[in-house]
Structure formats: structure tokens, C-alpha cells
Amino acid sequence: MIHALFVLWFLSIISISCSGESPRNAGLEDTPGVTASDTDANSDGDTDGYSDDDSVFDGNSDSYSHSDTDTDADGDAGVDSGLQADREVRLVIEENADGFCSVDGTVDADNSGFSGSGYVNTDNELGAAVQWSVAAARDTTISLQWNFSNEGTSARSGLLVVNGITVATVDFPVTANWSSWSTAQQPKVELAVGNNSIRLQAITSDGLANIDSLTAIGFSISVGSCAEADSDTDTDADAGTNSDSDSGGETLAFPGAEGFGRYSSGGRGGEVYHVTNLNDSGAGSFRDAVSQPNRIVVFDVGGVIDVSERIVINRNIYVAGQTAPGGGITIYGNGIALNGDSGNDIIRYIRIRMGKNGDSEKDAVSISEGQDYMFDHVSISWGRDGTLDVNGTGIDNLSFQECIIAQGINNSNHSTGGLMQSGTWSVIRSLYIDNKTRNPKARGSHEFINNVLYNWATDGYIMGDTSGVSECNLIGNYFIYGPSSSSNTHITNTTPTFYLYAEDNWVDSNKNGVLDGSLMTDYKTATVMDTPFDYPGVIERLSAQAALDHVIDHVGASLVRDDVDNLLINQILSYGTEGQIINTEDDNGILGNVGTPANGTPPADSDGDGMPDAWESARGLHPGSADDTGDDDHDGYTNIEEYLSCIVGDGNISCP
């Protein structure tokens, strides 16, 4: 029997050789929509498809893990013959071919230059998606490429969702025309044994670019079954769920992310950029770091970055201010803009202080376009128009949690917290302080939960001020009058078209230096609802008193508070006796206006992947090999995201 099997094997080898077909590519051309390539895919100087290093760390350099497990669940320790387990494969999946599952849109052939029978054209709407299936004979890491065209006016980016978990954002920039095809790629995607769903989901109302094909490059892969992949995937968000991954499979921006912007993925899976200096521009500067999309920005320095011009933050960026050594990072002198080049951004633990030298009639932070923004522990102050303004078109899904919006400067009689009047938005456990008016001016569908307002002047929370409809959950907030506050102004400009669910909101109006507020019962002409609107809410809702305590202890860039934030917190603690509407930041009497946050020494990071050597070693990672985009515990967060979360204690993630 053994002899007979050997003869059959030998004859099969002769047959392949005589046909002139390379054994490496044998049989792939017979698979519809699938091709094979002999290119040097791993850049090691040959075309054999093998990496010359021990990439699976099993003591050899063959790129395979020598396991005797039954990887295809067929009762033996082999690999199903239908899966390409012994060589690198380049699968090109065309529309309407095996492995192509669905599109929210159509398959068209109007424009030239495509391969196959056409290309997919998604509907022009947020969330429009294309889905494929790739099968794997074992747990493996592959790369993905998309052939696309985009004659639109701006990039059409999509969330990459693998087996129901968001792993990255893929950018599809503008091309010359709809017949001009380019390539976008995601270098590292982890697959599990069996069928894996690969889904691109639009993050703008323009939908995705036109997609001609998906190419998957890796070992042990073949086209998958759409039916089996679909059964394991549900990417619809459940607005009422707040866990690391909700029941629909979407991964939070970080453990503990809340509100409408909680699914922002930032730079997940993208390049790590180190800010190495405090310069206004140039290599290693913050301005340069956020000038290109798909980046996680870490800081090797702490201190003040003096900027002369406004900084635009590009799309798919995670600004990890928590990595700055010493006293953290302050951006001073002008503002931050998020516009048509922006979206799907996470910004954490930095201070943005515009001030008197910033552009006239501009905001400290302005959001005029884009979706999916998460601001967490950000201190924002000294806007010359608004301090934080959300006002524009196509804006949606924003969260501001544990933020400070403070001291709009009044040298042109326009000290404001700002406008919050576009898209769906959440402000959670944050502080508005020392702004004359607009704390904020609130419109649209929104939630305002566990916040503190202190020392406004003419207007605290402006409820709509328009005949347009607004729908708000106002829950567990504390309104505390300061020395600048006019009487009966904690809520103003209410209208009957401002529909309000209100619960556990308190006001202390007597300015007597003691916290002795009372429950709010009068919401003037707003229409009060009996039940809350179906908004995301928070993981743990605090009482108004507990929210005040939390804000005092945690709000803003609070890993190390600077002199400005300490001043503001001390004003709150005076409970009505301290605070002012400033003409400029000079009025605070702080050295250099922003103080002198210390620099500091970053931890050693030999491979430059943004994770300290000691942390990588403790986690079983490899300090000499960049593995920031890996996900060693398979929870949907990349390794570097795990490190960024451990710094600040997100969820249950701790630093070993």
C-alpha cells in the first residue's frame, strides 16, 4: 500500500513537470477569479515565496509552524487539499467570482481599464460595504490589496472589518479619473482557520471608491465560502452596548470609549510616527506627524510646541499624547482644524491652547467636515471665535469625553465655549469653564451626560435657539454659577422644538463658596420627554455630585496637569468665588502663559514600533522586530493600541 502511494505521488510530479507548469503555481489558474504570482513578495531577494527568517519563531526559517494539530477538522493532522498550505499564494478575487460575497451597490463596466467582468460601485452613503471571503488552512497573517479608482473630490476611505472586528481604515485617495486605477493595501491582516469575512465599509456619505478586485497574499489561503463567512459576521452597531466589542462585532476606539464617536479606529494598523522635537514644522514635528493619513502618533518629547499657523489633522490618525514623557504636550499659539481631509481620528491627552496670537475669528479646535471623531482627555482653551466648534456639513459621530473647554478669550467681545450643532454628538464627563456664552450652543441629536459648567457669563447651556428640531438627553450634569455668571442663565434660548429628556441635573446659583445646589426642575420652554432618546449612553452613569468629583480628579490632559488646568480646577473648588472671563491668556498671570511643562526621557524602543522594549518583552513580543500592527491576544486591538491603553489604564488593560 505504501509502495503504491509512492508511485502515484511520483507519477503526479512527473505529470506536472512534463506539462511545463511550475509545481509552485500548479492548479491555481483553474480557480475562477484567482491567479498566482512569482514575484518576490517578501523582498528577500528571491521569488520562492518564503521568508528567510524564522517568522513563526519555531526554531527554523521555513515560515511554517510545525504543529501536528488537525487544522482543517477532517480527522487528521494534514491540510485540506483545497487550501494552498505549502506555498505563498496570491489570490485575485474579481467581482462575481468565487470569494466575492456582496456589494451595497452595483457591478458596473462603464469605465475602462478594469480586469475581470467589471468593478463594484457602492451606493453613495455612509456604511455602504463590499464583502469577500478568504479561507485559511491555519491561523495566518496575510496582506491585502485593492485595485481602485476615485474621481471624487476627496478620499473615500473605508473601515476594514475582518470576521466582524474592525482592524484598520483603508484610504482610497483621489485618482486622475474613473478609468485611472491605483492600488491601496493593508500589510498585515490576521486570519483564523476556516472561512474569513473581509469587509470594507464606507466611513463617508460618498461611499467607497470603485473597487476592481481584492488581492490576498499569504500562505495557506484560498477563496472562501461566502455563506459560512456571512453566518459569523454582524457588523451592525448596537447603540446601546458599551463593551470592547459590541454585539455587532465593532471594536471601540479604546476600552472605555463612549458616545457617538466610540467606534473611531484612528490609525489602527497604520504607520507609527515618532514626534522627536518641539519644532513648528519639519521632520519629527507634530505638524508633519498629522499631515498624512493612517498614522499612530507617539511622542518622544514633552513640552510646549509653539505654532504660528493652524494645524490640520489628516484622516485615520491616533494622536497618543499619553506617550509624551515629562509634563506632556501643549500646542500653543494657534488652533487645530479638522476638515475635508480629516475623519476617523482619535485625539487623546494633549493640550490645545490657541490664544491672542492665533488667527482672528478662528477656533481653538474647529470641526467643519468628516465623521467619527473621538476626543479623550483633551484640554482646549483660548479660542478667538469658538473654543470648540462643531459646525459644517457631512459631520457625524463625535465624542468628547473627559475634556476641558475653557476661557474663550474676550478681546473682541466673543468669548465662547463654542457651537455644537452638526451631526450626532456626545459630551461626557467634561468641563466648560470661564466662557462668556455657548457652553455650548447645542443643536441636533446629542447627549450631554455627567458634565460640569462653571462661571459662564451671559449664557450657560444654549438649548437650540432655533425653530429647527433638536433631541437631547441631558443627564447628571452640575451647573455652578461663578463670579461672572448672570442670574437665571444656566440654560437659555430654549424653544418648544428642543425635545429634552432630563434627569438628575443640579444647579448651584448662590456663589457662596459652598456646594449646596438643588435639583433642576424648570427647563423653560423646552419640550420635556418622559423617556430618553435611544443614544449610546455611558457604561456607568454617575450622579451629578459624583460627576463633579470625577471631573475635578480626571478631566483634561490629567496624566500631568499643567498650570492652566490646575488654575481652572481650583476655580471650581471655590464654588462660586473665583473665576473670570479673560480678555487674553495674559490675564491668568501664569509664566509664559502656558507654564513650563517638563520634557523627559522616553523609554527605550529599539525597533521604533512605538512600544517600549521592556513592555514588549513582558508581553512576549520581540523588541528587535516591529510588531505594532499585530494582535497577539486576538481582541481586535493591535499590540501598540494595547500599550497606549495600558499607559492610562483603559478598561482592564494594565502595563506589565
Q: Please, what's the b/e burial string for 524-560 (b: 16 or more CB within 10 A of its CB; e: otherwise)?
A: eebeeeeebbebbbbeeebebeebbeebeeebbbbeb
Question: In the annotation, is 268 catalytic?
Answer: no
- In sequence order, the β-bridge partners of residue 148 are 182, 211
Write out the residue limits of the CATH 2.160.20.10 domain(s) in the chain: 335-588
**215: alpha, beta or left? (left if phi > 0; alpha if psi -120 to 50):** beta
Query: CB–CB of 360/384 below 8 Å?
Result: yes
Is pLDDT above 50 for 55?
no
Q: What φ, ψ does residue 25 adopt, rounded to 5°?
A: -110, 10
Cell numbers representing residue 83 in the block: 487550501
Least Cα distance to 143 among 86, 221, 229, 209 occurs for 221
**Superfamily grouping for domain 25-231:** Galactose-binding domain-like (2.60.120.260)
How far apart, in whole angstroms, are the C-alpha atoms of residue 280 and residue 288?
9
Query: Could you tell me where the DSSP H helices lie in 283-425?
Result: 286-289
CATH code: domain 335-588 is 2.160.20.10
Residues 6+ apart with CB under 8 A from 409: 355, 356, 382, 383, 384, 415, 582, 583, 584, 585
How far apart, in whole angstroms, are the C-alpha atoms of residue 632 and residue 616?
11
Q: In a 3-state reduction of DSSP, which class is residue 165?
A: strand
How far apart, in whole angstroms, are the C-alpha atoms of residue 121 and residue 420?
34
- DSSP assignment of 545-564: HHHHHHHHHH-SSTTS--HH
* Beta-carbon-side half-sphere exposure of residue 266 (alpha carbons within 13 Å): 30
Query: CB–CB of 156/172 below 8 Å?
Result: yes
Would you state the pLDDT for residue 249? 53
Least Cα distance to 83 among 96, 72, 92 occurs for 72
Mean pLDDT of all residues in 450-470: 96
Min mean pLDDT across 54-68, 175-189, 313-327 is at 54-68
Cell numbers representing residue 384 in the block: 478667538
More confident residue, 264 or 176: 264
The overall average pLDDT reported for the chain is 84
How far apart, in whole angstroms, are the C-alpha atoms of residue 250 and residue 195?
19
Give the pLDDT confidence of 473-487 residue by residue, as tens digits. Answer: 999 999 999 999 999
Residues 6+ apart with CB under 8 A from 282: 288
How far apart, in whole angstroms, are the C-alpha atoms of residue 376 and residue 651?
14
How far apart, in whole angstroms, are the C-alpha atoms of residue 336 and residue 95?
41
Q: In a 3-state reduction of DSSP, which class is residue 539?
A: coil
Q: How many helices (H) and strands (E) does the chain have?
A: 7, 40
Give the pLDDT confidence of 517-559 residue by residue, as tens digits. Answer: 999 999 999 999 999 999 999 999 999 999 999 999 999 999 9
C-alpha distance from residue 399 to each of 247, 342, 532, 535, 536 (Å):
20, 15, 18, 12, 11
Write out the residue limits of the CATH 2.60.120.260 domain(s) in the chain: 25-231
Is pLDDT above 50 for 308?
yes
How far apart, in whole angstroms, are the C-alpha atoms of residue 112 and residue 210?
12
Give the pLDDT confidence of 128-161 residue by residue, as tens digits. Answer: 889 999 999 888 889 899 999 999 888 888 888 8
The burial of 139, by beta-carbon neighbours within 10 Å (0-12 exposed, 13-18 middle, 19 or more buried), is given as middle
Would you state the pLDDT for residue 20? 38
Give the pLDDT confidence of 553-610 residue by residue, as tens digits. Answer: 999 999 999 999 999 999 999 999 999 999 999 999 999 999 999 999 999 999 999 9
Is pLDDT above 90 for 408?
yes
Would you state the pLDDT for residue 519? 98
Is pLDDT above 80 for 21?
no
Would you state the pLDDT for residue 455? 98
Min mean pLDDT across 110-119, 283-292, 306-315, 447-456 is at 110-119
Min mean pLDDT across 50-54, 450-454, 492-496, 532-536 is at 50-54
Cell numbers representing residue 642 in the block: 494595547
Would you state the pLDDT for residue 40? 34
pLDDT band at 402 (very low <50, low <70, confident <90, very high): very high
Query: CB–CB of 268/293 below 8 Å?
Result: no
Is pLDDT above 50 for 240?
no
Cell numbers representing residue 91 in the block: 489570490
How far apart, in whole angstroms, are the C-alpha atoms of residue 61 and residue 55?
7
- DSSP assignment of 422-480: SSSEEEES-EEES-SB-S-EE-SEEEEES-EEE--SS-SEEE--SSS-EEEEEES-EEE
Give residue for cell 451629578: 544
Greatest CA separation found in the chain? 98
Query: CB–CB of 364/335 below 8 Å?
Result: yes
Would you state the pLDDT for residue 83? 42
Which H or E element spans position 573? helix 563-573
Neighbours of 177 (CB within 10 A): 13
Query: CB–CB of 172/148 below 8 Å?
Result: yes
Is pLDDT above 70 for 204?
yes
- The catalytically annotated residue of 268, 348, 438, 443 is 438
Q: In a 3-state reduction of DSSP, which class is residue 300?
A: coil
How far apart, in whole angstroms, are the C-alpha atoms of residue 260 and residue 242?
11
Strand ranges in 210-249 using DSSP code E only, listed in sequence order: 210-223
Crossing angle of helices 544-554 and 563-573, in 10° steps, is 150
How far apart, in whole angstroms, are the C-alpha atoms of residue 431 and residue 288?
30
Return the percentage of the chain with pLDDT > 90, whole number. 67
Min mean pLDDT across 29-43, 203-217, 259-273 is at 29-43
Query: Could you tell me where the DSSP H helices lie in 491-534?
Result: none
How far apart, in whole angstroms, are the C-alpha atoms of residue 345 and residue 553?
26
pLDDT band at 187 (very low <50, low <70, confident <90, very high): low
* Beta-carbon-side half-sphere exposure of residue 59 (alpha carbons within 13 Å): 2
Give the pLDDT confidence of 348-388 residue by residue, as tens digits. Answer: 999 999 999 999 999 999 999 999 999 999 999 999 999 99
How far apart, in whole angstroms, are the C-alpha atoms of residue 301 and residue 77?
52
